C-alpha cells in the first residue's frame, strides 16, 4: 500500500502511517504566484493500491482542488486502486436543494471525485445518512460516536442534547450505545438567506443535570454557544460538547472560549490550526478507527 497525505491532513496521516507501519509517500505540492497548484508524486505507484488522506475543511475549495490534482496524478501514474480517506467531506451540508433555483454542491463534488477514479471512500459522520447513497463507489462510513461514548460514559447524572432537530438520529444512536441515556433536543431555526440562527427552543428535561451537546460540525460555534445558554437557563448544571468535525470558521475559538460550555471535545478529522486552539478545547483522534477500516 502507498499512503499519501493532503496538506490539511498531515498530523492525522502521520498517526495512520505509524499505526499501519506504512511510510507516507513523498509528493510535491507547488503553489504558483497566482495561487494555482501543481502536484507531483515523487514515488512510483504503478500497479499499487494507493490511499490518500485528505480532509476538505477551510479553505474548502483550495483543499478540493489539491485533492482533485492528487487523484489525477495517481490515476495517470497507474495506481491500481485509489482509496480516498476524506475524514471530513466539505460541502456535506449542501446535500439537497434548500431554495428553488439552487445547485446541490455535494453532488457536484461527488461527480468530480468519481470521474477522477476513486474506488472507495472512507469518511466519518456524514451530515446526513442519505449521503452514502449518493456515491456509485463503495463507501465506508465511520462514526466518532463510539469514541465519544467512552468519554461521556465516565460522567454522572448527564443528559445528551442535540443542538438541532437534524441531529436526532445521532443522539438516539448515542443514547442507545450508552444504555438508553435520556436526551433532549433544541429546535433551531436558521434564516435560509443569511444562515443566522433566528430562534431556539428546548424539548426535554435538563434540570440539575450535566448537559452533553453532541453534533457533527462545529463551524462558527454559534449553534452550540446559544444551545449552552438555553440549557443553563433551563437548569442544567454544566455543559460539555462533543463534535466530530472542527470546521472552525471565523472567530470560533473566541466564541467557544467565551461561551458557557465547560469543555469542547472535537476529533482530528480536520487539523485545527494553532491560532484556533483555545484552553477549553480537547482533541480526540480518529486514527484508530481509520486504520481499522483500512486493514479490513
Among 221, 271, 272, 289, binds ligand R5P (CB under 6 A): 221
Distance CA 234, CA 22 (A): 51
Least distance to ligand R5P, CB of residue 242, Å = 12
Report if residue 223 touches ligand R5P, rule: CB under 6 A: yes
Q: How remote is the C-alpha of 258 from its chain's centroid?
A: 23
> Residues with Cβ < 8 Å from 254, sequence gap 6 or more?
278
Pick 77 or 200: Cβ nearer ligand R5P: 200
Nearest approach, Cβ of 97 to ligand R5P (angstroms)?
A: 16
The answer to whether 215 contacts ligand R5P (rule: CB under 6 A) is: yes
**Stretch of 61-69, 84-92, 153-161, 218-226 lying at the interface with ligand R5P (CB under 6 A):** 218-226
- Of 75 and 172, which CB lies nearer to ligand R5P in the complex structure? 172
Stretch of 27-35, 112-120, 221-229, 269-277 contacting ligand R5P, by CB under 6 A: 221-229
Active site (annotated) includes residue 188: yes
Least spacing, CB of residue 253 vs ligand R5P, in Å: 12
**CB of residue 189 vs ligand R5P: minimum separation in angstroms?**
12
> Which of these ranges, 43-51, 152-160, 219-227, 277-285, lies near ligand R5P under the rule CB under 6 A?
219-227
List the x/- string, 79-108, binding to ligand R5P by CB under 6 A.
Answer: --------------x---------------
Which three-class secondary structure string do you get for the chain? CEEEECHHHHHHHHHHHHHHCCCECCEEEEECCCCCEEEEECCCCCCCEEEEECCCCCCHHHHHHHHHHHHHHHHHCCCCEEEEEECCCCCCCCCCCCCCCCCCHHHHHHHHHHHCCCCEEEEECCCCCCHHHHCCCEEEEECCHHHHHHHHCCCCCEEEEECCHHHHHHHHHHHHHCCCCCEEEEEEEECCCCCCEEEEEEECCCCCCEEEEEEEEECCCHHHHHHHHHHHHCCCCEEEEEEEEECCCCCHHHHHHCCCCCEEEEECCCCCCHHHCCCCEEEECCHHHHHHHHHC
CB of 132 to ligand R5P, least distance (A): 17
Distance in Å, CB of 221 to ligand R5P, minimum = 5
Residue from the set 106, 124, 202, 217 that interacts with ligand R5P by CB under 6 A: 217
When asked if residue 166 is in the footprint of ligand R5P (CB under 6 A), the reply is: yes
Q: What are 30's three cell numbers?
A: 507547488
Apex CA 17: angle with CA 149 and CA 5, to 5°?
95
Piece in contact with ligand R5P (CB under 6 A), picked from 44-52, 101-109, 209-217, 233-241: 209-217
Catalytic residue among 188, 209, 238, 276: 188
Tell me the catalytic residues: 188
Query: What does the binding site for ligand R5P look like in residue numbers (CB under 6 A)?
Result: 93, 163-164, 166-167, 215-223
Amino acid at each position: 500500500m502507498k499512503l499519501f497525505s493532503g496538506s490539511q491532513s498531515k498530523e492525522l496521516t502521520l498517526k495512520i502511517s505509524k499505526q499501519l507501519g506504512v511510510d507516507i509517500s513523498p509528493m510535491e505540492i507547488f503553489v504558483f504566484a497566482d495561487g494555482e497548484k501543481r502536484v507531483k508524486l515523487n514515488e512510483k505507484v504503478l500497479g499499487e493500491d494507493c490511499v490518500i488522506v485528505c480532509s476538505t475543511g477551510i479553505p474548502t475549495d483550495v483543499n478540493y482542488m489539491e485533492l482533485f490534482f492528487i487523484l489525477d496524478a495517481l490515476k495517470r501514474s497507474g495506481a491500481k486502486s485509489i482509496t480516498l480517506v476524506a475524514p471530513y467531506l466539505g460541502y456535506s451540508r449542501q446535500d439537497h436543494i434548500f431554495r428553488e433555483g439552487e445547485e446541490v454542491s455535494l453532488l457536484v463534488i461527488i461527480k468530480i471525485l468519481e470521474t477522477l477514479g476513486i474506488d472507495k471512500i472512507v469518511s466519518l459522520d456524514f451530515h446526513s445518512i442519505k449521503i452514502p447513497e449518493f456515491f456509485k463507489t463503495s463507501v465506508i462510513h465511520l462514526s466518532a460516536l463510539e469514541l465519544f461514548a467512552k468519554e461521556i460514559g465516565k460522567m454522572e447524572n448527564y443528559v445528551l442534547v442535540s443542538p438541532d432537530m437534524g441531529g436526532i438520529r445521532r443522539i438516539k444512536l448515542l443514547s442507545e450505545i450508552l444504555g438508553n441515556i435520556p436526551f433532549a433536543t433544541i429546535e433551531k431555526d436558521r434564516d435560509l438567506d443569511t444562515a443566522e440562527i433566528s430562534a431556539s427552543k428546548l424539548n426535554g428535561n435538563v434540570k440539575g443535570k450535566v448537559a452533553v451537546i453532541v453534533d457533527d460540525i462545529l463551524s462558527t460555534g454559534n449553534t452550540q454557544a446559544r444551545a449552552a445558554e438555553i440549557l443553563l437557563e433551563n437548569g442544567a448544571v454544566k455543559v460539555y460538547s462533543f463534535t466530530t468535525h472542527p470546521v472552525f470558521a471565523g472567530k470560533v475559538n473566541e466564541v467557544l472560549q467565551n461561551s458557557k460550555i465547560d469543555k469542547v471535545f472535537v476529533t482530528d478529522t480536520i487539523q485545527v490550526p494553532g491560532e484556533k486552539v483555545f484552553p477549553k478545547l480537547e482533541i480526540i483522534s480518529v486514527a484508530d478507527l481509520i486504520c481499522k477500516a483500512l486493514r479490513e
